[in-house]
Chains A and B, each alone.
Chain A
Amino acid sequence: EDQVTQSPEALRLQEGESSSLNCSYTVSGLRGLFWYRQDPGKGPEFLFTLYSAGEEKEKERLKATLTKKESFLHITAPKPEDSATYLCAVQDPDNAGNMLTFGGGTRLMVKP
């Protein structure tokens, strides 16, 4: 059974204080690993897809990396508007229906 674990569950940062969020996964096969941002009362917003170990993607203050067992979302010099819950999900080609298996999320709070 596929499993995705995110840590920490919650993270408080001061504005400008860089940090990383972790996503550990166990799958029989990996088609892709996806990062989403979710604001309160809204649907998950797509951020990145990583397809193979060693791959990196960047967008503004965010950088996602992938190894064979985990992914990191690095946040450089965060701003209060980066406060949100960040979700990680994997897609296993052995699962029917292209189902995404999600982690529990990391709730990020950035204080000014």
Chain B
Amino acid sequence: DAGITQSPRYKITETGRQVTLMCHQTWSHSYMFWYRQDLGHGLRLIYYSAAADITDKGEVPDGYVVSRSKTENFPLTLESATRSQTSVYFCATEDRASYEQYFGPGTRLTVT
């Protein structure tokens, strides 16, 4: 009954490696989001999903891939990690009745 969980919470990887960040929700909200948070840029939307098998780009999608085969899961993949992708990544879901978005605990990713 945790709402949104993200894994891993911390990850260090090397430039060029593929990395997948996981997001799981227990609310069955149709909308899910991936944001990144960087000093000086605040929170920015990477990708979003309106439902299973429906995904679309946000503000900063380059270098990222998403999929959503099940309503509850929304993984984010960095196909070939770059140092500029060092950031804190947050997954969120939206309550369609109120448009309120609820965030997970985040994944701190460092690309060396």
Contact = CB atoms under 8 A, between A and B. Distances in A.
Interface string B21-57: 0000000000101000000001111001010000010
Interface in B41-79: 42-45, 48, 50, 56, 58-59
B43 A87 contact: yes
A14 B95 CA distance: 36
B105 interface: yes
Instruction: Name the interface size band of chain A.
Output: 20 to 34
Nearest to B55: A97
Contacts of A103: 42
Contacts, number: 59
Contact of B94 (A45, A87, A98, A102): A98
A49 B104 contact: no
Nearest to A43: B103
Contacts of B4: 43
Interface of A: 31-32, 34, 36, 41-46, 49, 87, 89, 91, 96-100, 102-105
Contacts of B44: 102
A105 to B, nearest CB: 7
Interface residues of B, number: 23
24 contacts: A31-B99, A32-B99, A32-B100, A42-B105, A43-B4, A43-B106, A44-B90, A44-B103, A45-B103, A46-B103, A49-B98, A49-B99, A49-B100, A87-B42, A89-B43, A96-B56, A97-B33, A97-B45, A97-B50, A98-B31, A98-B33, A99-B33, A102-B43, A105-B42
B106 A34 contact: no
A41 B107 CA distance: 9
